[in-house]
Chains A and B, each alone.
Chain A
Amino acid sequence: MPFSIGTIIWREIWQRKSRLVSGLMAIALGIAVITGIQTVTTVSRQVVAEKLDLLGANILVLPQAASLDDYYSADIDAPTFPEDYVERVATSMLPGVDNMSPKLSRRVKIGTESIILTGILPVNELASKPIWQASGLMAAELDLACATATAAGAPAAATTPIDPAKKRPVIDSLAAAEAWVGSVAAQRLGLTAGQVVTVEGEPFTVTHILPETGTIDDSRVFVHLHTAQRVLGTGTQISAIEIMGCCSAISDGLLAKLRNILPDTRITTISHIVNTQIETNRLMAKVSVIMLVIIVLVGAISIGNYMWANVEERRREMGTLITIGFKKRHIYRLFFVKSLVLGVIGGASGYLLGTGAALILGPQLAGLQVSPVFSLFVWSLVVAVGIAVVGSWYPTYRAARMDPALIMQEQ
């Protein structure tokens, strides 16, 4: 390889390996910390998103003329809309819609008690009712959570066919003559599992008494949606669709997009759930940004310190090169190329170190199954090179402006 300015840079780095190591350590450790944290955070986000999804449905679609009172009281004349609205949303492939559970609710007389009969699609309903799952009613595994939906690049709509292999042996079906009964309703009606309850003249076997949820669901009797439509004589009408929406998608205007698809409905969020989800996501994002800023600052200061020391150490050398005829741009090149090399090596080794630490420590300390985030590799290189260049900018500027006459007179 012919002798060039590149040779000078490489020789200086190579001949001063021990000093290089301290400079590299500063970058590599900084990048390792942020890569490790980001790797764990990425996994944590998915876990948190899944847990947030478990809070249940967060968007409610009602008929235009209906109020929330209508929805909860389920009066006989409460407005309805066609069931095929569910299909309309599903086929729109709208990102951020994790699950939809359509339902038809009507207040009926069972014996002497006034009870709300609610027709549901059991798989979809279970997906949005995690607390029911705890009692042995299990939902099929849906493609939950913002992170996974985004990664897949497509929403998991309610009508997405569910891979039978993913299903666990669960109680997730509700036959035409079966009913699930809320805990309060069961108490009021004196029902236990296996008994038969007659609703609107039709007998239903109670296959499950639902766990207490502290919600209006405790006072309901659930049958299959299509059975309810037949029994109540509403045709293919429903009272509402409860949607589990990805919270970041809600922030990004999911409601407006739903309104475009279903213009004659009233779409609202279940605010306490959405707010919790959005606040949690914001907090995690803020923590990541704060960590990034700290690491960038510490890294830049460390590199700046190293480069400063390097410039001081090389004062005589710089003075000599200037007397030989080096211009400012040559001096800038010497130091900036060196900082680029430091950035690339420091970034790459920091990524490997941080990812390795996350893979080892993630399961041990946080109980998370961590996998490498390959996109962080590019990110690590960019940040490390940025830190190195920013950190070495002022020392390099000083080096280029050195007065060789003063250096000569220092001899």
Chain B
Amino acid sequence: MFVLDNLTKIYHHRSEPVYALDSVRLTIPRGSFLAVTGGSGSGKTTLLLMLGGLIRPTSGTVTFKGSDLFSLTPAQLAEYRNRAIGFVLQTFNLVPYLTALENVMVPMLLNGTAAADRRNRAEALLKQLSLDRRMDFFPRELSIGQQQRVAIARALANDPEVILADEPTGNLDPSLSVEILDILEALNREDGHTVVMVTHNPQAARRAQTVLQLSAGRIISEKAVAPTGTAAASEGSRGVDKSN
């Protein structure tokens, strides 16, 4: 689904180049669940945002289903994000003055979904995530676990092929984290969504099929996760190809 070829992102800090990503080569197959781990500044969020077409690489390419993402116009990239990608963020980023239902309907405003279908789809998603009694609540009226579930519903609004999750459990307590990870896992296993999840949490990472570890912008390890939840070193397995 994604092919990252020699991907490099350089920022400049006080005229000194800082490598956020350094010559990353990676293939992410359709239907995979990839966890990206690493310390602060390792480049994991940069990698995620690049998959979402939000950051342009300094060099290298990101190919999505055979098309070079960054040869698209800004308007085409916006359509790509709207149709193919669902973002789940650590701070949920719900629009504070819209209800849960309206937040879920926002992405559907942009792709021509009919008004009635928007409402039906949003209601169905919220029901699926056990929020059918919270549809008309504003984010401030929801618990943080409920807010993250609304954010997941919004990410699923246009039935995207890919879920990009940036520290989705970062603000949640352990039981809520498990709940959210269960949802992401189900989306991957049952519905076939490709999930790329950035996380600091090793336990969360073990819910993925593959764990990728970054350091200073480079992939330093890639491990396939055994079904029991213990990670086993398996370079190049499950279609994840690491090459620095």
Which A residues are closer than 8 A to B by beta carbons?
2-5, 7-8, 11-12, 14-16, 316-317, 319-328, 330, 403-405, 408-409, 411
B25 within 8 A of A: no
Q: Could you list 24 examples of A-B contacts with CB < 8 Å?
A: A2-B115, A3-B109, A3-B115, A3-B119, A8-B98, A11-B98, A11-B102, A12-B97, A316-B93, A317-B96, A320-B89, A322-B54, A323-B52, A323-B81, A323-B87, A323-B93, A324-B82, A324-B107, A325-B79, A326-B78, A327-B75, A403-B54, A405-B46, A411-B91
Q: Which residues of B contact A14 (CB under 8 A)?
A: 97
For A327, the closest partner residue in chain B by CB is B78
Chain B contacts to A: CB under 8 angstroms = 45-46, 49, 52, 54-55, 74-75, 78-79, 81-83, 87, 89-91, 93-98, 102, 105-107, 109-111, 115, 118-119, 154, 166
Report which of B49, B83, B94, B109 forms a contact with A408, defined as CB distance below 8 A: B49
Contact B97 A11 (CB under 8 A): yes
A15 touches B154 (CB 8 A): no
Judge whether B97 and A3 touch: CB under 8 Å: no
Say yes or no: A325-B118 contact (C-beta < 8 A), given A3-B102, A317-B95, A408-B54: no
- With A11-B97, A326-B110, A411-B91 given, name 8 new contacts (CB 8 A): A4-B109, A14-B97, A15-B96, A320-B94, A322-B81, A324-B81, A327-B74, A408-B54
Give the shortest distance, in Å, between B61 (CB) and chain A (any CB).
18
Smallest CB–CB gap between A307 and chain B, Å?
Answer: 17
Q: Which residues of B contact A327 (CB under 8 A)?
A: 74-75, 78, 110
Q: Give the shortest distance, in Å, between B55 (CB) and chain A (any CB).
A: 5
B97 close to A15 (CB less than 8 A): yes
**Closest residue on chain B to residue A408 by CB atoms:** B49
By the criterion CB–CB under 8 Å, are B102 and A325 in contact? Answer: no
- Given contacts A323-B54, A323-B87, A326-B78, whether A408 and B45 have CB atoms under 8 Å apart is yes
Which residues of B sit under 8 angstroms from A16, Cβ to Cβ? 97
A3 and B119 CA atoms in complex are apart in Å by 9
Identity of the chain B residue whose Cβ is nearest the Cβ of A320 in the assembled complex: B93
Q: A403 to chain B: which residues have CB within 8 Å?
A: 54
B95 in complex: contacting residue of A2, A8, A325, A330, CB < 8 Å: A8
The distance in angstroms between the C-alpha atoms of A317 and B95, with both chains bound, is 6
Considering the complex, give the chain A residue whose CB is closest to the CB of B116: A2
Bound: A328/B54 CA distance, A: 14
Please report the C-alpha to C-alpha distance between residue A316 and residue B75 in the assembled complex, in whole angstroms.
Answer: 20
Q: Are B87 and A324 in contact (CB under 8 A)?
A: yes
In Å, the complex CA distance between A8 and B87 comes to 20
Whose C-beta in chain A lies nearest to the C-beta of B76? A327
Question: Taking the nearest CB of chain B, how far is it from the CB of A4, in angstroms?
Answer: 7
Docked complex Cα distance between A164 and B115 (Å): 70
Report yes or no: A3 in contact with B118, Cβ–Cβ below 8 A: yes
Smallest Cβ-Cβ distance to A404: which chain B residue: B54
**Which residue in B55, B74, B106, B107 is a CB contact (below 8 Å) of A8?**
B106
Q: Report whether A405 and B81 are in contact in the complex, using a CB–CB cutoff of 8 Å.
A: no
Bound CA–CA A330/B78 (angstroms):
11
B93 closest partner in A (C-beta): A320
- 8 Å CB contact of A3 from B89, B105, B111, B166: B105
Contact B45 A409 (CB under 8 A): yes
How near does chain A come to B19, taking the closest CB pair, in angstroms? 16
- Which residues of chain A come closer than 8 Å to B78, judged between CB atoms? 322, 325-327
